[in-house]
Amino acid sequence: MLTRRRLIAISAAIAASSLVGRASAGSTARLWTGQALGARASIRLDHPQAEAIAARVLAEIDRLEKILSLYRADSALARLNREGRLEAPPFELLECLSTAAAVHAASGGRFDPTVQPLWVIWAEAAAAGKRPSDAAIERTRRHVGWEKVAMDPAAIELAPGMALTLNGIGQGYVADRVAALLEAEGLSDILIDTGEFHALGGRPEGGAWPMRLESGGRVELRQRALATSAPLGTTFDQAGHDGHILDPATGLPARSAWRSVSITAPSAAVADALSTAACLMPDRASIIGMTDRFANVRCEAASPISSL
């Protein structure tokens, strides 16, 4: 079953990776596994140069982490959060944030990368075995709001006290960039998994990639991406009540109507961000209204809490 990645990561370092061959004699199929932005990552390849291709992918993921990682002190994102301004930002950071801005607008502000200060106070309180105070939440909410971010190719600037997170879009963006790298080399029939899925073509043996959703449903991927969000898939508290998706309007964990939401799109970054925002939507009609603002995007499943 497709399970939601862990978003509360303490390290985004790429773990030692491996290539594991299939048992069938003469097969060129390989599976690379490692880490990307603190999440498990794998790429299934059926190619005589699978090991060399995996090495190039690993290098690309490392390059992207130096730009997008929230947990590497030398990343472009970490420097922006630390200093409040980043001159000549990398193209990849601008592109990822531009996608985030489009989803922010389509979701009525529900998807908002500026919730990072709220996430910090919730994580720190959880480490102490408690919830943040109402006063702390209200103080921190003053530093949240996408409209306070100034962004252009010359610089990205944040208002004092602000910080950005790419949780909810970063893993999808990495999947898209890896897909672009492989496609540029003329490769196809590959399933990329960085916590979100991006299929280049179909399965090497024929047919689409069959995916089982958290809702229990199924979807087939061919030249398409899939993302699933589950509000209580990761929680701040041991009781499992305070989920990791925060509502920027209240500063509180989402009191979601949904157990999980799965969305497919041509872009994994778009699917990732939309599935996160969908967890804050009150009904399926609202989710469809949001996804309809993007070309060729579908809500594959929205499993309500009441169905448990």
List, for residues 255-264, the tens digit of each pLDDT value.
888 999 999 9
pLDDT of residue 130: 93
Dig out the tokens for 135 from the structure: 């006063």
Three-state DSSP class for residue 65: helix
pLDDT of residue 179: 93
**Does the global pTM surpass 0.75?**
yes
Dig out the tokens for 257 from the structure: 């109507």
Environment class of residue 133 by beta-carbon count within 10 Å: exposed (0-12), middle (13-18) or buried (19+)?
exposed
Q: How many CB atoms lie within 10 A of CB 288?
A: 15
- DSSP H or E stretch at residue 273: helix 268-278
User: Which residue, among 273, 251, 87, has the nearest Cα to 171 in the 3D structure?
Assistant: 273
Environment class of residue 231 by beta-carbon count within 10 Å: exposed (0-12), middle (13-18) or buried (19+)?
buried
User: Which residue, among 159, 167, 153, has the nearest Cα to 98 in the 3D structure?
Assistant: 153
pLDDT of residue 4: 33
Kindly give the parts of the chain with pLDDT less than 70. 1-29, 36-39, 306-308
pLDDT of residue 5: 35
d(CA 157, CA 14): 29
Dig out the tokens for 299 from the structure: 């809500």
pLDDT of residue 27: 55
pLDDT of residue 260: 93
pLDDT of residue 28: 60
pLDDT of residue 18: 38
Buried b (16+ CB within 10 A) or exposed e, 182-201: beeeebebbbbbbbbbbbbb
